Amino acid sequence: MNAYTEKIRELSSNLLREGKVDLVIGFKQGTVPMATVPAIARTPEEAATFVWDANCSLNLANYLTNRTEKIGIIAKGCDSRNIVNHIVENKISREQLYIIGVPCTGMVDKPSIRALFDLEITQFKEEGETLLVKTLENELKIDKQDYLRANCRTCMHRNPVIHDVLVAEPVVEQTLEDPFKDVKAIEQMDDDQRWNHFETLLDGCIRCYACRNACPLCYCPTCFVDESNPQWVGKGQDPSDVRTFHFLRAYHCAGRCTDCGACEEACPMDIRVRDFTRKLVKDSLEIYGWEAGLTLDQRPPLDTFKPDDPDAFIK
Amino acid sequence: MKVIQIDKNDWNRGIDASRKAYHLFGPVTDNNQSMFKQLAPDQYPDMEKPDTIMSPKSVLFPQTEKLLGATLDPTAENHHIMERPETDYSPRAVIGIRPYDARAVALVKLNFDTPEYRDPYWCDAYAATTFVGLAVNQPSVTDFSTAMGSGPFAEEGLDALLVDAGDLYLAKVLTPKGEAFFSAAGFDTVADTDESLEKIEQLKNKAETAMGPLAVFTDKLAQKSILDLHGAPFWEDLAFTCINCGTCTFVCPTCWCFDIQDETKGNSAARFRNWDTCMSPLFTKHGSGHNPRGEKTQRVRQRFMHKLKYFLDKYDSGTMCVGCGRCVEKCPVNIDIRQVCNKMNSYEPQK
Ligand code: SF4
Ligand code: SF4
Ligand code: SF4
Ligand code: SF4
Ligand code: SF4
């Protein structure tokens, strides 16, 4: 058992034993290699089955929306930023939460690990920063840092920005020459290339909405794509309707997206949906000097109004 | 039982020959995504990677399908009269379909082709289709088809079963449709039946042994009361974990639910059906605004109850899950139907 897992179990069990929270939200071991299961623990015994590894990729803030209990929650850097969003957007209150912060060294990119093998992966083990991956016929030791998810590679907030306790000493934050190389590459395409890029990107989308449902920002009781009266968008596989879903969802995340990668993680078709939201992350930073989910004191730029706004149209 | 042997060197030539008589569908990998698609004239089924993310159900039941169309042009004689569009139902063959997916087709048929009601779109596509299966020599870790009435070499729903025997395929011809396909492809080398059946049996045993002993049980599901299962305590925790996307139902070869939508563009009107999912809150929303499955727990329970109990009770044809393992593999939060099935099978209510 790794040190993080041990500490998470200890802290969560204690919280429950001491009655400081009604439940703790964490990850349990999955039933197939490279899978973890977001789960609830209501007793110290249940909390003793929590795990932590490089597959705890989903964002647990997603499970907080409108809950009324007193909650303990395990949060890596990005989860903590979405918890901040949730608090700012009144989806949960700070007083309800006991945040067990996890200084994160990145989550792994499953598609690129799978791509190393012809056969399916039958075993996955983590030994520190080394990953041991097995198939029926093959076995590889790889360095975790070479197989990080794209969002983890450019993450500048690996340490939780808000927490009540940390499971370990903070990790060193990454320094990056240019975190937005990917966005710039798309910006530099001409119109046709860019159109083709997004066309190909969405080719295999089956509109299952796993991306939306895994995203902590997407908590509307009825999403615009589901609304039937009035109906805003067609529900079939017509490419214009598929695009409309993705464009609008991305805009609803503008200034709020923490680049946690849960959307991509959840997609059964491995569609890189962050190609949409990344541009908005970059624009928020460049236009408003804003990074989502870092402070409890300010609302995101697109839902605030300033009397001294430099643009005249708003007055 | 006739067994044909096909040298793999002749495979593409035969596939090409069959294109004259059939539209071919098969597993292909595009953009890193493997799925069943209609093959382009120069495309061959990827027989090395037939375990597709999406099941072949879309061959008979496309995700979006036009049911009716009409013109709204008031000067046209037939304006506003909905008519079924012309669809090409000439012979199709699905190459490389896995045995569990073929069983799924047989189960879906129970719903779309009944004495009271016959879904013309599905049934016409079904009648046009020949299913040329490919046995599973190396079952994946999520394949539990042997527990669900199918298996790596099962024949239900197939017109022929190909068995990969190294340099050649041994093909069991199961129906006249299968026979017709092989003759169109020019595959006519009859193998020594006893010898090849023995070889097939060996490969089958090997595959089943690799799957290990049965670990999913369905034997007690039929005797359970629906109400007891409904009240079982495990739905709450499953519902907590579930993010209520539709992934499990969209990848499932037996999920058959759809939603009907009308769309207009200029003077043309169309009625479509799109796959729908009981995971969506809108699925059961009534016109009145009432929603009998408004809570996530109710929706999560519905999926498993339908697959493992309601279907079983209604049709007496086993469970509606064929054990393909796709939902286990693709659920973003790893909700595993194998575990849920065992919980349901062993559930005893507290008196
Ligand atoms: S999760 Fe993937 S397939 Fe599903 S709607 Fe989102 S992008 Fe499309
Ligand atoms: S849009 Fe994607 S990356 Fe952004 S917060 Fe939502 S799940 Fe995370
Ligand atoms: S795929 Fe998993 S998370 Fe999505 S609806 Fe199905 S069970 Fe729930
Ligand atoms: S319920 Fe899951 S395992 Fe069963 S047939 Fe459907 S996708 Fe396959
Ligand atoms: S009710 Fe749900 S589980 Fe049953 S077929 Fe429809 S979508 Fe699938």
Task: Quote the ipTM score.
Answer: 0.95
Are B143 and B324 spatial neighbours (Cβ–Cβ below 8 Å)? yes
| Numbers of helices and strands, H then E, in chain A | 11, 8
- The reply to whether B7 touches chain A by the CB within 8 Å rule is no
Q: Which atom of ligand 4 is nearest to the CA of B104?
A: 5
At residue A263, the pLDDT reads: 98
Average pLDDT over residues B228-254: 97
**pLDDT > 70: percent of chain B:** 100
CA distance A153 to A126: 19
Question: How long, in residues, is chain A?
Answer: 315
Q: With a CB-CB cutoff of 8 Å, which residues 220-249 of chain B face chain A?
A: 237, 240-241, 243-247
Please, which residues have CB within 8 angstroms of residue A281's CB and are 6 or more apart in sequence?
A257, A259, A291, A292
Q: Do A31 and B33 touch (CB under 8 A)?
A: no
User: Terminus-to-terminus CA distance in chain A, angstroms?
Assistant: 59
Angle, CA of B51, B54 and B55, to the nearest 5°: 75
CA distance B250 to B327: 9
At residue A13, the pLDDT reads: 98
User: Terminus-to-terminus CA distance in chain B, angstroms?
Assistant: 54
**Tokens found for residue A85:** 């969003």
The band of B196, judged by pLDDT with boundaries at 50, 70 and 90, is very high
**pLDDT higher than 80, residue A233:** yes
CA distance A20 to A17: 8
Which phi and psi (to 5°) does residue B124 adopt? -65, -40
How far away, in angstroms, is A42 Cα from ligand 2 center?
Answer: 28
Residue with tokens 């049709």: B315
Lining ligand 2 with CB less than 6 A are A 59, 214-215, 217, 253, 257-263, 274, 277
pLDDT digits (tens, 9 = 90+) for A198-221: 999 999 999 999 999 999 999 999
The band of A310, judged by pLDDT with boundaries at 50, 70 and 90, is confident
Q: Is the CB of A210 under 6 A from ligand 1?
A: yes
Contacts of A31 in chain B (CB under 8 A): 328, 334, 336, 338-339
Minimum Cα–Cα distance from B239: chain A residue = A39
| DSSP per-residue string spanning A138-192 | -EEEEEGGGGB-HHHHT-S--S-SS-SEESSPPPPPP--S-TTHHHHHHHTS-HH
How far away, in angstroms, is B276 Cα from ligand 3 center?
Answer: 14
Are B131 and B159 spatial neighbours (Cβ–Cβ below 8 Å)? yes
At residue A210, the pLDDT reads: 98
**pLDDT higher than 90, residue B49:** no
At residue A305, the pLDDT reads: 80
Are B285 and B16 spatial neighbours (Cβ–Cβ below 8 Å)? no
Q: Is the CB of B334 under 6 A from ligand 3?
A: no
At residue A311, the pLDDT reads: 79
Average pLDDT over residues A140-167: 97
Buried b (16+ CB within 10 A) or exposed e, B299-326: bbbbbbbbbbbebbeeeeebbbbbbbbb
Identify the bridge partners of residue A39 per DSSP, sorted by sequence position: A26
Lining ligand 4 with CB less than 6 A are B 251-254, 307, 321-327, 337
Mean of the per-residue pLDDT values of chain B? 96
**pLDDT higher than 90, residue B30:** no
Which residue, by CA, sits nearest to atom 5 of ligand 2?
A: A257
**pLDDT higher than 70, residue A314:** no
The band of B187, judged by pLDDT with boundaries at 50, 70 and 90, is very high
Q: Out of B53, B64, B141, whose CB is closest to A268? A: B53
At residue A313, the pLDDT reads: 72
Q: State the pairing for strand pair B129-134/B23-30.
A: unpaired
Q: What is the pTM of this model?
A: 0.95
How far away, in angstroms, is A270 Cα from ligand 1 center?
Answer: 8
How far away, in angstroms, is B157 Cα from ligand 5 center?
Answer: 21
**pLDDT > 90: percent of chain A:** 92
Angle between helices B8-18 and B176-185 (to 10 degrees): 100
Q: Which atom of ligand 5 is nearest to the CA of B278?
A: 2
Are B44 and B92 spatial neighbours (Cβ–Cβ below 8 Å)? no
Q: Which ligand is nearest to the CA of A253?
A: 2
Minimum Cα–Cα distance from B337: chain A residue = A31
The band of A308, judged by pLDDT with boundaries at 50, 70 and 90, is confident
Report the range of poorest mean pLDDT among A98-107, A296-305, B190-199, B306-315.
Answer: A296-305
**Tokens found for residue B184:** 């169109």
**pLDDT > 90: percent of chain B:** 95
C-alpha distances in angstroms, B100 versus A206, A231, B55, B129, B153?
Answer: 22, 38, 10, 17, 9
Mutate to test the interface with A, among B260, B300, B333, B337 (most CBs of A within 10 A): B333
Order of strands, sheet of A165-166, starting from the edge strand that comes earlier in the sequence: A36-41, A23-29, A71-76, A97-102, A165-166
Average pLDDT over residues B152-156: 98
| Mutate which of B302, B305, B310 for ligand 5 pocket (most atoms within 8 A of beta carbon) | B302
Q: Out of A37, A200, A238, whose CB is closest to B333? A: A37
- The reply to whether B21 touches chain A by the CB within 8 Å rule is no
**pLDDT higher than 90, residue B340:** yes
**pLDDT higher than 70, residue A102:** yes
Strands (DSSP E) found in chain B: 2-7, 23-30, 33-38, 64-71, 92-97, 129-134, 160-164, 168-173, 258-265, 268-275
Mean of the per-residue pLDDT values of chain A? 95
**pLDDT higher than 70, residue A315:** no
At residue A312, the pLDDT reads: 77
Contacts of A59 in chain B (CB under 8 A): none
C-alpha distances in angstroms, B201 versus A81, B5, B48, B197?
Answer: 57, 15, 21, 6
Q: Out of A30, A63, A267, whose CB is closest to B334? A: A30
The band of A74, judged by pLDDT with boundaries at 50, 70 and 90, is very high
Angle, CA of A32, A34 and A40, to the nearest 5°: 80
| DSSP per-residue string spanning B245-268 | -SHHHHH-SS---EEEEEEEETTE
**pLDDT higher than 70, residue A190:** yes
